[in-house]
Copies of this chain bind each other. A is one copy, B any other.
Amino acid sequence: MTTLQQLPNFKFHGVPFTEVAIQDSFWTARIKATQQSTITACLAQCEQTGRISNFAKSANLMEGDFEGIFYNDSDVYKVLEGIAYSLMIEPDALMEAQADQIIDLIVAAQQEDGYLQTFFTLAEPQNKWKDMNKHEDYCAGHMFEAAIAYKQATGKRKLLDAAIKLADLIDSLFGPSKRHWVAGHQEIELALVKLFLETGEERYWKLSYWMLEERGHGHGIGYSWVREGWGAAYSQDDVPVRDITKATGHAVRAMYMYAGMADIAAISGDQGYIDALDRVWSNIVHKNMYITGGIGPSRHNEGFTADYDLPNDSAYCETCASIGMVLWNHRMNLLHGDSKYADIVERAMYNGSIAGVSLSGDKFFYVNPLESDGTHHRVPWYDCSCCPTQIARFIPSIGGYVYATRGNEIIVNQFVEGAGRLSLKAGDITLRQVTEYPWNGRITLRVEEGEAGEYGIQLRIPSWCKSYRLAVGEQEIADAQTDKGYVRLQRTWKPGDEITLELTMQVERVYSHPLVLANEGKVALQRGPLVYCMEEIDNAKYDVLNVTAATRFRTVYEPELLQGVIAVYAEEPSGDQRFKAIPYYAWDNRAAGQMKVWLPEQRDESRLYRS
């Protein structure tokens, strides 16, 4: 059976996270926190807020009205998906039993015809499929994803069968010569592709393709924002998807849609989709993305505004949107085989995405500004809790972004200590990474298992990296080929062979495009993939919180700070201590206080030249 990693028009094949053992300190800590805290917290919240009992009520297993918001079912699905990923990493009988119970309720809540959305079943049965913005498709998509993941993790197909029944219902209602349908909140598109890959049923991806093609022709019905005067662009329903030139509207919807488009392009080879994705990618990455990989500056539409409008204190940057950037850019990387997309995966992964969760794993940001007056804090839950449950399913799947393959090529996209089992034409290979990344740019790659054979190993040289060194064994490499941001080593490899890649990692000053008015005269600090910020708790004692041309940075590994981070101390050669900075992802884990990513820079023309 085909997997998402092996769609015909993807240049690279992804390597699922189940083939990647993460044995580092950075991600292991995040995964443990997700397993031990995030998932438990999300389950408890789903319980307490009626999200789970809504299923029981729909199944007539208990009495009562629908509780909460109409799309709340999706949160339960997303936690289930996270549980499935977690079980693939580490079996947990109790967690699995809890999931089984919830799945029983979900399946019991499904109606005879396959319909499943507890809000409509309980509150407005007469209004099913009438308003395209009531997230019936969105919830279905998340249900498909959870069902597939749970089947893959446990072999149990109860939820998957229910998913197929729901998908078939949708397929029976909508499509060519049936009803029009334009998903108000995209998500089902990529989920239908997964369902195709899981079941082999071609009609699922074709339905997804049709749904994407439905957009931009005025078929959308019931969109509240259209009534309110915002226009169809809010939901990317203003132009046909193949005519997209720039990012508009709600950021998470856009991300899920682009991810779905990339999947469909990978199956169909539709060049119109590829061209549209390339255009909108450039528009987002060059003109509408924060340094954190965050997108969507506006609280108003939870999304995009105008090019270069990237305010810091009011930055919306929904956690789900950053994770959406990972989902989409991962697929773009597979589609084009170009490391520039993996660069964005890295940026969003290490910054905008994981900032969404506390180090303890049980508090969450929905909104991720780049500057705070001290009043913005993570909380245990939201009425609209898409972000916490997104974290629950995202972090355990992180290993899926590490490798890709292509015929007889291994592609190393991310640097994470651990081992990857990689299938090449030349045979199966186990490749081990030894690295302290993201704290240190030195990476040793060792061929551990597999027959000796000739194949290529491509290493992403991250866009943040300005200079690097590469060696195979003791031999320094001068003449390696570079292609699309990967440096490529082709030779006959055998177990024991070692590659050393040293990415010089220094505290870099990053400047904004001059049209980003919010950052005029400002600089941000980045070290390796990590964007840094200043928090008040570290800096109350310093008088001056800016950067000059002469400022230099002392990096200090502080094992007791924020579960162990490299802190950055800024100092003047004169002796003035300017400030201490910490990785952005770790902010708001101590006392409340101000935070800033972009810092004023005092320019001194006389220092510009050699000094």
Contact = CB atoms under 8 A, between A and B. Distances in A.
A556 B476 contact: yes
A-B pairs, top 4 by smallest CB distance, nearest first, are A485-B573, A504-B506, A467-B507, A513-B609
A508 B277 CA distance: 34
Nearest to A561: B478
B285 A484 contact: no
Nearest to A509: B466
A260 B39 CA distance: 74
27 contacts: A282-B606, A286-B609, A289-B610, A340-B611, A463-B550, A463-B611, A465-B552, A466-B508, A467-B506, A467-B507, A468-B553, A468-B554, A478-B567, A478-B569, A482-B571, A482-B573, A482-B574, A482-B575, A483-B574, A484-B573, A484-B574, A504-B507, A506-B506, A511-B608, A512-B609, A513-B605, A513-B608
Contacts of A445: none
Contacts of A461: 552, 573
Interface in A492-509: 504-509
A557 interface: yes
Interface string A466-493: 1111100000111011111101000000
A189 interface: no
Nearest to A525: B467
Interface in A510-530: 510-514, 516, 527
A155 B285 CA distance: 72
A315 to B, nearest CB: 14
Interface string A367-393: 000000000000000000000000000
A76 interface: no
Contact of A469 (B556, B605, B608, B609): B556
A463 to B, nearest CB: 6
A605 B573 CA distance: 32
Contacts of A481: 575
A436 to B, nearest CB: 13
A563 to B, nearest CB: 16
Interface string A544-556: 0000001011111
Contacts of A553: 466-468
Nearest to A576: B482
Residue from A554, A556, A574, A611 having most chain B Cβ neighbours under 10 A: A554
A11 interface: no
A467 B609 contact: no
A478 B569 CA distance: 7
A431 B558 CA distance: 28
A556 B477 contact: yes
Nearest to A570: B467
Interface residues on A, range: 35 or more
Given A483-B574, A484-B573, 18 more contacts: A343-B611, A461-B573, A463-B611, A465-B552, A466-B508, A467-B506, A467-B527, A468-B553, A469-B554, A476-B558, A477-B556, A478-B556, A482-B577, A484-B574, A487-B554, A504-B504, A504-B506, A513-B608
A552 B466 contact: yes
B511 A552 contact: no
Contacts of A476: 556-558
A234 to B, nearest CB: 26
Nearest to A483: B575
Contacts of A78: none
Contacts of A482: 571-575, 577
A194 interface: no
Interface in A403-438: none
A609 B484 CA distance: 19
Residue from A291, A480, A573 having most chain B Cβ neighbours under 10 A: A573
B609 A511 contact: yes
A516 B481 CA distance: 36
A484 B575 contact: yes
A392 to B, nearest CB: 28
A568 interface: yes
A20 to B, nearest CB: 24
Contacts of A567: 478
Nearest to A343: B611
Nearest to A511: B608
A340 B572 CA distance: 12
Given A468-B552, A476-B558, A558-B478, A610 B510 contact: yes
A215 B44 CA distance: 87
A513 B607 CA distance: 9
A467 B555 contact: yes
A253 interface: no
Nearest to A505: B504
Interface in A273-288: 282, 285-286
A38 interface: no
